[in-house]
Amino acid sequence: MKRFTGDIARFFADDKAATMVEYGLITALIAVGAIAAFTAFGTGLENLFGANGAGVGNQLDNATSQI
């Protein structure tokens, strides 16, 4: 019985799993933030990177010529 309680105490003292959960939550938060940013700025990014096939170079030339 004493060995069993020692094993249980060691199990609850080990915090490696808690660290992995924290890293998972941080990764999920970053992913949600990236999705929200892409959604909010989607049209601007689409225009910048040339979704119509014009290419990034032409889009940047057009953007800088307007400044």
Q: Evaluate whether residue 53 is within a structural domain.
A: yes
Q: In which domain, by residue range, is 23 found?
A: 17-65
Query: Residue 1 domain-assigned?
Result: no
Rounded Cα–Cα distance for residues 51 and 38 (Å): 14
Q: Does residue 22 form part of some domain?
A: yes
pLDDT at position 66, please? 65
25-61 as b/e: b if 16+ CB within 10 A: eeeeeeeeeeeeeeeeeeeeeeeeeeeeeeeeeebee
Q: What is the reported pTM?
A: 0.46
Segments in the chain below pLDDT 70: 1-2, 11, 14-17, 48-63, 66-67
Domain assignment of residue 50, yes or no: yes
Is 59 within the bounds of a domain? yes
pLDDT for residue 57: 62
Note whether residue 23 is domain-resident.
yes
Instruction: Report pLDDT for 44.
Output: 76
Domain count, the chain: 1
pLDDT on residue 32: 96
Residue 51 in tokens = 């979704």
| 9 found inside a domain | no
The answer to the question of residue 11 being in a domain is no
